[in-house]
Structure 1
Amino acid sequence: MYLKHDRPDWIDIEEQATPNLTIEDLMWCLTKKRPSILSPTLSQALVLWDSLKNNSSLVSRGRPLSSIFQDPSFVSKIDKDSFKWWHDKGLYRIGRFFSHSGPLPGQHFIDKLGLPVSEKLKFSQLHDHAQSLWDSDLISGFLTPYESKCDQDLIRKGNISVIYKSLAANNTKLPHMLAWERELNNDWDLSDWYKNYTRSIKGFVNISLIEANVKMYTRWYLVPLKLASMYPSTSSLCFRNCQGLGSMIHIWWECPKIRGYWNKVFNIVRRVTGCNLHQSPTIALLNGMLPQISKVTRQLILYIMTGARITLAAAWKKSTVSILYMKRKVTWIMEQEKRVCSMLDRSTLFYEIWEPWLKYMGIPYTP
């Protein structure tokens, strides 16, 4: 499931190592069917996914969203390349052949999709396999709420927030939440987590900026301590050579070689918005609750902090981080948001938010 219908480039890069499986297939297939060699980021993401899906009961019996063409008991009997019509119609997930009461009849596919006569033999093969799974009690006709959202062909605005809320609804804090709380010596309610996460997602119209915030929340970055847990021969010390333990909070906030950078970032926020914020990793990294200020000022601070984090990620192993580059990155964010706001007829709101930054940078505003 992708955030946009346009296929992101990173998916093609990741799937080069898995020529016979898509990233979607890797999520839903049996763990033992995955390739033994994957990129470090994809491998770690799947480790987190496996833990989460089992602990939170995200996947129902029989893995209904897995591809039927990756099921060995079915593929061994047929030539999967001959099922192009079914794949093009999105009928490759096992669950698409079931209702709550059992396998769907052929009339369902005739009425809904105009099943051509030439595909009736293929349907018989698919139906027989579905019936064998049902008779063996190997699959449930019910999807979990999470699976139901992922099974939607049409990606709707707000889906990520809905999925995140459904995950948090079981009153169980997710692993990344607990890890942040340990490092920040904090104990947030689930409602606080949801509010901060929602604020980060809803604050942007550009999808790449949403992605940057999600990566921080879910601790996606491979810091030295995480790399050392994956590869024991790798050092767990900070790669800026400060001899500190390379934890997430150290690399992003506590390392003495970047403390000056964050001092400058908060000073810029004060000069641009007039808000003298307390220097806190909760604000800098997780878009934590700000004092009682206007909505547009809060939004501008969110943009500035996001630009600061993107800049720090770009200078990942450097001992110094360019504040000039950070200003250019925030301006780049402004330009991206301007394009989208123009298309959505939100130019007035755009100027209201960005006016202080335009004045600070000495940039004339051109609608």
Structure 2
Amino acid sequence: MLIFMDYGWISSTLTIKRICVQNYLTYPYTAEGFFWSPASSRPSAMSPCLKHTLFMWDRYAPAYNLTSPSRPAAPIIGNPLFPPGLQAKAFTWWTTNKFLRVKDLISVRGPYPMTYLIENYNLPKTEHYRALQLLHWAQKCWGSSRSDQAPLTCFERWCLNNAPPPKTISLLYLTLVSPKSLTDILYIKQWGNDLGVSLTDTQWPQLWENLKHSSSNTVISEAGYKVLFRWYLTPVRLARIYHNTNDHCFRGCSAPGTMGHIWWHCPKVVRYWVRVYNLIFSVLHLNLRKNPYEALMGLPSAKVPKNKQKLLNHMFLAARQTIAKSWKSLSINFTLFKNKVDWIFINEKLSSIDMDRLKTFQTVWEPWIKYRHYDTLPTYLLTI
């Protein structure tokens, strides 16, 4: 919780007793100024609470991009990096005119020139020397190599607005626990290693969105999430839990039973997926290239119409459920796959009736109904 205390120091007014105590203990500096200055510029004597908070800040602020190089939220008064600002009374004119932070001295192209301050703020001659001091420090913060200002971080925007957004603590926690990159998410990294191919950062949100809307029936959509989050116990995982267990594939191919092998690379499952893709071509007339992320996790296929994509999602869901149903079997029953599609068909029809979406259901499932020729399911179920 100490990481949030520093946010209180930065964005709150000095009327809060906790902040007043810390500022009294750090005088002539302010506790706020320490967060925007390096550890080497801070005094060694400070309260244990503030010292530990700064230790956590120094550890996590760079790692999670809470600050930008130009330090735009750094205060002018009480900042160790700007010694003239330790005399707050000398900068009364500047604080009165709302020059409180580095950001107030910088435009999108760099620090303001002296002429700008004179023309726009009627800068009195008595403040010219302090203006040179401030602009010199602003230029130092800005740096000599950047031609444009670095974008503000979300944390700096909160500080500059002087008003925290709703649920600030939850947002900060979310920032700290969120991975820096999608490839840092464990199951994404594991699937990439198992399948030998990875998705881009733009493809994963498409996959999640398509999987989210694959079915309104929880039991049906659950099959997709179980595979995505690697819910199933493979021989390799069981061998790690029970050391005397064989880690070879259930289907007798003598290869290590990893998640990628069981679902995609096993010779028997390869033949099964060939038949699945052939059936998809017969039903939807789509000649798809085999893609494990489409078949196993719900990545939408490129250039496939919306209604066909919905039926394709159901057929891939049925294919996954069939593999799960045949988990420890020596072979995968392809007839069971067709029966699973029929079972999903029935459940989707009942859901469409309940939600008054029968017309949409008819459009989506029409290719499957034509393929089955009304000879497998009872007529009253197939008839729309």
TM range (shorter): 0.5 to 0.7
Separation in 1, partners of 2:371, 2:177: 41
Separation in 1, partners of 2:300, 2:194: 18
The 3 A distance-change label for structure 1 pair 146 and 193 is: farther
For 1:244, which of 245, 252, 255 is the aligned residue? 255
| Partner residue in 2 for 1:323 | 334
Query: Any stretches of 5+ residues in structure 1 without a counterpart?
Result: 1-140, 149-164
In the TM superposition, residue 266 of structure 1 has moved relative to its aligned partner by 0.5
| Partner residue in 2 for 1:136 | none
| Partner residue in 1 for 2:186 | 175
| Partner residue in 1 for 2:383 | 366
SS in 2 for 1:258: helix
The 3 A distance-change label for structure 1 pair 219 and 146 is: farther
In the TM superposition, residue 146 of structure 1 has moved relative to its aligned partner by 11
Deviations for 1:188-243, whole angstroms, at most 9, x for unmatched residues? 23332121022012121100112111111101110011111222222111121110
For 2:279, which of 250, 268, 288 is the aligned residue? 268
Deviations for 1:127-185, whole angstroms, at most 9, x for unmatched residues? xxxxxxxxxxxxxx98635999xxxxxxxxxxxxxxxx998675343100100111222
Separation in 1, partners of 2:227, 2:195: 14
Task: Compute the TM-score of the two structures, normalised by the length of structure 2.
Answer: 0.51
Quick check: 1:168–1:190 contact (8 Å CA) kept in 2? no
For 1:356, which of 367, 375, 380 is the aligned residue? 367
The 3 A distance-change label for structure 1 pair 189 and 278 is: closer
In the TM superposition, residue 316 of structure 1 has moved relative to its aligned partner by 0.8
Any residues of structure 2 matched to 1:185-200 within 5 Å, and which?
A: 185-200=196-211
The 3 A distance-change label for structure 1 pair 146 and 205 is: farther
| Partner residue in 2 for 1:46 | none
* Larger Cα-atom Rg: 2
Is the aligned partner of 1:256 residue 2:256? no
The 3 A distance-change label for structure 1 pair 146 and 296 is: farther
In the TM superposition, residue 282 of structure 1 has moved relative to its aligned partner by 2.1
% identical equivalent positions:
30
Number of corresponding residues: 212
SS in 1 for 2:273: helix
Q: Which amino acid aligns with 1:245?
A: P
Q: Which amino acid aligns with 1:144?
A: S
Quick check: 1:311–1:325 contact (8 Å CA) kept in 2? yes
Moved over 4 A (4+): 145-148, 165-170
Separation in 2, partners of 1:193, 1:146: 24
The 3 A distance-change label for structure 1 pair 335 and 169 is: farther
Separation in 1, partners of 2:172, 2:284: 40
Is the aligned partner of 1:282 residue 2:293? yes
Separation in 2, partners of 1:186, 1:288: 14
Separation in 2, partners of 1:228, 1:259: 24
Separation in 2, partners of 1:264, 1:218: 25
Query: Any stretches of 5+ residues in structure 2 without a counterpart?
Result: 1-166
| Partner residue in 2 for 1:209 | 220
Quick check: 1:224–1:246 contact (8 Å CA) kept in 2? yes
Separation in 2, partners of 1:170, 1:351: 43
In the TM superposition, residue 338 of structure 1 has moved relative to its aligned partner by 0.9
Quick check: 1:258–1:319 contact (8 Å CA) kept in 2? no
The 3 A distance-change label for structure 1 pair 203 and 289 is: closer
Quick check: 2:211–2:299 contact (8 Å CA) kept in 1? no
In the TM superposition, residue 280 of structure 1 has moved relative to its aligned partner by 2.4
| Partner residue in 1 for 2:31 | none
SS in 2 for 1:266: helix
Separation in 2, partners of 1:200, 1:167: 24
In the TM superposition, residue 294 of structure 1 has moved relative to its aligned partner by 0.8
| Partner residue in 2 for 1:17 | none
Deviations for 1:99-120, whole angstroms, at most 9, x for unmatched residues? xxxxxxxxxxxxxxxxxxxxxx
In the TM superposition, residue 259 of structure 1 has moved relative to its aligned partner by 2.1
In the TM superposition, residue 186 of structure 1 has moved relative to its aligned partner by 2.4
Task: Compute the TM-score of the two structures, normalised by the length of structure 1.
Answer: 0.54
Quick check: 1:201–1:213 contact (8 Å CA) kept in 2? no
The 3 A distance-change label for structure 1 pair 182 and 346 is: same
